C-alpha cells in the first residue's frame, strides 16, 4: 500500500512567516540567513525560475523538502523550481515558502554549505563520506535483497526486478568511483593549482552522464517498491531491505547533488579560466 504523501501536508499546514512588500512578486522569497556565514556571502533570492540544484547548493537543508515531495534535486538539478512544482502539481508559492524557513535544525556534515568549502575539501568529503559509504553498504544490501527475493518472491513478483537492479549497481557505480578518485578528482586538483589539463571538459561531462544512469535505476527502485512502502506480510528482513534501499537513494541523491550542482560547475569554471589564459598567450603552470 502506497504511503500517504506527508510532504503535501507539510506544504499545506507548515506555518510560514513571509514579509512581502506591496507589489512584490509572490513567487520571490528571500530565505532568512541561518548563520553569520550565510549573511556574509549573501543569500540569493529564490524564484520560480531558480534551479533546484542552485537552491540545495545555497541551503543544503532544503534537500529534505525535495525528498518529501519527490523532486529530483541531483540529476534533475538543472530544472527550475516552477517547472518541478508544475510537474508535481504543487503550488510554487507554498513550495518557496516551505523552503524559505528550512535551516533552523542543527548542522551536520550533509547540512554544511559546501559552496563555502575549498574544492579540495569538497572532493575529500565526497570520497570519505559517500564513496566509502557505497563500498561498505552495497554488498550487504545486495545479499539482503537476494534473501528477501528467495523468501517472498512467490508473492511479490516485483522482487525479481529489484534484485536485478540492485545487482547491477556495483557495475554502474564502482568503476565510476575509481575513475573519479584516480583520474577526474586529481585533474580538478591540478586545475585548482593552475595546471592545464587536456580534455578535462569531456571527463567532467561524462560524470553527469554516469549520474543520469544511476538516477534512472534509483527511480525504478522507488517505483517498484511503491515509495519503499512496507507490505503487510513483510518480515524483519524485508523491512530492512526497504530501509536499506531508501538509505541508498538518500545517500546517492546527496552524493550526486554535490558533484553535479556544486563540484562540476566550479570545475568547469576553472577549466574555462585556464582556456582563456591559454587563448591570451598566458602559459599555464
- Regarding whether 155 and 60 lie in a shared domain, the answer is no
Whether 112 is covered by a domain: the verdict is no
Give the residue numbers spanning the domain of 175. 119-279
Whether 85 is covered by a domain: the verdict is yes
Whether 265 is covered by a domain: the verdict is yes
Buried b / exposed e along 145-180 (16+ C-beta atoms within 10 A): bbbbbeebeeebeebeebbebbeebeeebeebbeeb
- Regarding whether 161 and 54 lie in a shared domain, the answer is no
Top-confidence residue, 285 or 204: 204
Q: What is the pLDDT of residue 68?
A: 84
Residues 240-267: what's their mean pLDDT? 93
Inform me whether the pLDDT recorded for 85 exceeds 80. Answer: yes
Q: What is the pLDDT of residue 24?
A: 39
Q: What is the pLDDT of residue 17?
A: 34
Q: Sign of torsion, CA 211 269 55 137?
A: positive
- Regarding whether 154 and 96 lie in a shared domain, the answer is no
- Regarding whether 162 and 93 lie in a shared domain, the answer is no
pLDDT tens, position by position, 87-128:
999 888 888 888 877 754 445 555 577 888 899 999 999 999
Phi, psi of 80 (to 5 degrees): -75, 155
Residues 240-250: what's their mean pLDDT? 93
Total domains in the chain come to: 2
Whether 284 is covered by a domain: the verdict is no
pLDDT tens, position by position, 154-200:
999 999 999 999 999 999 999 999 999 999 999 999 999 988 788 78
Phi, psi of 252 (to 5 degrees): -70, -35
- Percent of the chain's residues with pLDDT above 70: 78
Torsion of CA 16, 18, 23, 28, to 10 degrees: -80
Q: What stretch of H or E contains 29?
A: strand 28-29
Residues 115-144: what's their mean pLDDT? 94
Q: Out of 68, 100, 132, pick the residue that ends a domain.
A: 100
- Regarding whether 128 and 267 lie in a shared domain, the answer is yes
Whether 109 is covered by a domain: the verdict is no
Q: What is the pLDDT of residue 80?
A: 92
- Regarding whether 221 and 131 lie in a shared domain, the answer is yes
Whether 17 is covered by a domain: the verdict is yes
Q: Out of 100, 132, 167, pick the residue that ends a domain.
A: 100
Q: What is the pLDDT of residue 9?
A: 42
Task: Tell me the average pLDDT of the chain.
Answer: 81
Q: What is the pLDDT of residue 13?
A: 38
Whether 285 is covered by a domain: the verdict is no
Taking the C-alpha atoms of residue 261 and residue 56, their distance in angstroms, rounded to an integer, is 8
Q: Sign of torsion, CA 111 69 14 29?
A: positive
pLDDT tens, position by position, 67-77:
888 888 888 88
Inform me whether the pLDDT recorded for 281 exceeds 60. Answer: no
- Percent of the chain's residues with pLDDT above 90: 52
Top-confidence residue, 7 or 114: 114
Q: Between the CA of residue 139 and those of 133, 136, 169, 252, 254, what are the distances in Å?
A: 11, 7, 10, 16, 20
Place of cell 585556464: 274
Prediction pTM value: 0.70
Taking the C-alpha atoms of residue 225 and residue 21, their distance in angstroms, rounded to an integer, is 45
Measured in whole angstroms, the distance separating CA 84 from the mean position of its chain's CA atoms is: 15
Q: What is the pLDDT of residue 115?
A: 83
Q: Angle formed by the axes of helices 132-152 and 158-179, to 10°?
A: 160
**Any residues with CB less than 8 A from the CB of 88 and at least 6 apart, and which?**
69, 70, 71
- Regarding whether 267 and 187 lie in a shared domain, the answer is yes
Amino acid at each position: 500500500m502506497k504511503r500517504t504523501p506527508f510532504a503535501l501536508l507539510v506544504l499545506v499546514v507548515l506555518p510560514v512567516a513571509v514579509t512581502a512588500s506591496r507589489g512584490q512578486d509572490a513567487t520571490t522569497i528571500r530565505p532568512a540567513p541561518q548563520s553569520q556565514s550565510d549573511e556574509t556571502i549573501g543569500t540569493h533570492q529564490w524564484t520560480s525560475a531558480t534551479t533546484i540544484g542552485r537552491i540545495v547548493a545555497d541551503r543544503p537543508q532544503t534537500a529534505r523538502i525535495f525528498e518529501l515531495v519527490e523532486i529530483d534535486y541531483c540529476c534533475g538539478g538543472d530544472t527550475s523550481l516552477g517547472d518541478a512544482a508544475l510537474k508535481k502539481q504543487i503550488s510554487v508559492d507554498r513550495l518557496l515558502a516551505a523552503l524559505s524557513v528550512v535551516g533552523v535544525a542543527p548542522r551536520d556534515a550533509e547540512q554544511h554549505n559546501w559552496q563555502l568549502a575549498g574544492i579540495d575539501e569538497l572532493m575529500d568529503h565526497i570520497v570519505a563520506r559517500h564513496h566509502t559509504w557505497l563500498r561498505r553498504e552495497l554488498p550487504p544490501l545486495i545479499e539482503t535483497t537476494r534473501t528477501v527475493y528467495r523468501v517472498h518472491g512467490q508473492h511479490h513478483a516485483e522482487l525479481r526486478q529489484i534484485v536485478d537492479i540492485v545487482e547491477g549497481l556495483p557495475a554502474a557505480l564502482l568503476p565510476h568511483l575509481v575513475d573519479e578518485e584516480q583520474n577526474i578528482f586529481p585533474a580538478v586538483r591540478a586545475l585548482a593549482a593552475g595546471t592545464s589539463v587536456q580534455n578535462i571538459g569531456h571527463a567532467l561531462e561524462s560524470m553527469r552522464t554516469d549520474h543520469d544512469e544511476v538516477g534512472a535505476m534509483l527511480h525504478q527502485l522507488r517505483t517498484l517498491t511503491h515509495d519503499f512502502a512496507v507490505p503487510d506480510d513483510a518480515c524483519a528482513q524485508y523491512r530492512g531491505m526497504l530501509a536499506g534501499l531508501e538509505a541508498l537513494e538518500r545517500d546517492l541523491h546527496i552524493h550526486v547533488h554535490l558533484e553535479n550542482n556544486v563540484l562540476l560547475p566550479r570545475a568547469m569554471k576553472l577549466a574555462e579560466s585556464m582556456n582563456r589564459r591559454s587563448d591570451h598567450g598566458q602559459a599555464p603552470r
